[in-house]
Amino acid sequence: MADEQTFLQRINESDFGQLIGLAANFSGTIQGALAFISLFEESDSDKILNAINGLRQDLDRDFRALGDLIQQQTQIIVDAVNRDAMALALSRSDIAADRLQEFLTSGDNQALETAKTESIGGVRFFSELGVTSPDLPFFLPGLVKAGTIRLFVIAGEPLGLKEPGPVVRDDVSTMILSLSSMIDSMKRTVDAAHIVTEESETTNCPPLQQISAGGRGRIVFHIDGYSHREDGVQLEFFDVGTDRCSQPSPGLEQEARAAALQARSQGVTDELAALGIPNYEQILQSWRNLAVPESG
């Protein structure tokens, strides 16, 4: 049908597509900023401060857009309570970033305590969504923002004021589980949308030559080829290359099916790349690296 669209087309033509791409836009910046911090040892306060200042422009621009999109596309969220709670969580993360900057600049311990409390509150919303929430992909950018600020707060704490190691590990492990679940949800959605189908038909064919001219015709079941489809839309077709009154050789059939499967695999890969999933996976790996205490 003319109005049929693939999953990626529908995503790209909606505000949801913009939402998914937000954190991917600055994933490299985030990874670079997290590369030099430690959650369990003393971190360089000046480097953390510079990193926050460097990220501020990207975070403010992209998550201002995120806030606008939440207001414009409220129907994306099944539960309006989650939508409002997400906005509140992100505002708490903003407060945490401001208070952390204040602490790193002036040494105000009360500002650090506020940064701790607000950064924990900012992440908690995402960790309490549950790994089976139907809207997990929508929350990807918000979790990346809240989680990144939470990591900066932990790293910015002086050794004498650092939260206990087990508490830090539990917090970061919960963040990792949430981000991993959201990424996996998107990957499952895209993977399930791409399928390979066998295209076949039955044809009325003339009698075989060895049968007399007066013989009756025959019905032949013929495999035409294999289609790579997404959400019912045929993207590519791989013909077995034989006429409809003869069966293709096993070799031709296998080649066509293998080509369709390869096209499906490449289609999934391309779509995930377009949605920024590899960038989110790199952020996830950065978080996992930070969760491991430095040896020695």
The pLDDT value given to residue 49: 83
Decide if 2 is inside a domain. no
Averaged pLDDT, 286-290: 88
Same-domain status, 144 and 240: no
For residue range 53-85, list pLDDT tens digits in order. 766 666 666 555 554 544 444 344 445 556 677
Averaged pLDDT, 183-212: 82
Decide if 169 is inside a domain. yes
Same-domain status, 185 and 206: no
Same-domain status, 157 and 211: no
Same-domain status, 28 and 159: yes
More confident residue, 172 or 212: 172
The pLDDT value given to residue 223: 84
For residue range 220-269, list pLDDT tens digits in order. 888 889 999 998 889 999 988 777 777 667 788 899 999 999 999 999 99
More confident residue, 88 or 117: 117
Question: Structural domain of residue 42, as residue ranges?
Answer: 7-191+276-290
The pLDDT value given to residue 62: 59
Quote the pTM value: 0.76
The pLDDT value given to residue 294: 59
For the chain, what percent of residues have pLDDT higher than 90? Answer: 28
Same-domain status, 88 and 163: yes
Q: What is the mean pLDDT of the chain?
A: 78
Same-domain status, 175 and 198: no
Task: Say if CB 272 and CB 278 are below 8 A apart.
Answer: yes
Domains in the chain: how many in total? 2
